[in-house]
Amino acid sequence: PRHATVASARAALERDFFFVGVVEAMRESLCLFRYLNTLARPPDYCACGSTAAFPPMSRTHAHDWYQSDAAFLEPGLRGEVRKLVPRDLILYLHGLHLLEETSSKCERATGMRVLCPAKRDRMWAAALKDACAVHNDGGEAYNHTCTYPS
């Protein structure tokens, strides 16, 4: 809705959705979704750093046919996207926060780390680059700070 605020959208993510995953971490998102549904230790192919084959899935998303990661957009196009979606950038940070929180919960309960720290850090860095470009306090709610060139 037009009157929705970032705060109300964040609250809705937590209240109305059982799980929030992200495309950039599709494998991890699917493994964590499975964990939340079963509360059982995820299969070994879900472990951080695993090279085991992921089971085949039916394709309902055209992910193989286009690059959906904003990090791969040309800089000029990326700037145009930033103008269109400033609130979405902050919501994406909240989605990363929720994914990270679910991964930590899984690790505490099962001993398996699903979301590798290096991948998590890369996703945060890319998301903060965009969010901080349009919001001075982009990541501070998630213990990340915006850094600006001197």
**Tens digits of per-residue pLDDT, 78-136?**
777 666 666 777 788 888 999 999 999 999 999 999 999 999 999 988 888 877 776 65
Contact 83, 89 (CB under 8 A): no
7, containing H or E segment: helix 6-16
More confident: 88 or 39: 39
Contact 95, 102 (CB under 8 A): no
Question: How much is the pLDDT for 150?
Answer: 44
Q: How many CB atoms lie within 10 A of CB 31?
A: 24
Question: How much is the pLDDT for 4?
Answer: 57
pLDDT at 77 over 60: yes
Q: CA–CA separation, 24 vs 99, rounded Å?
A: 11
The answer to which of 24-28, 47-51, 145-149 has the lowest mean pLDDT is 145-149
**Tens digits of per-residue pLDDT, 12-29?**
888 888 899 998 899 999
**pTM for this structure?**
0.74
* b/e code 104-122 from CB counts within 10 Å (16+ = b): eebeeeeebbbbbeeebee
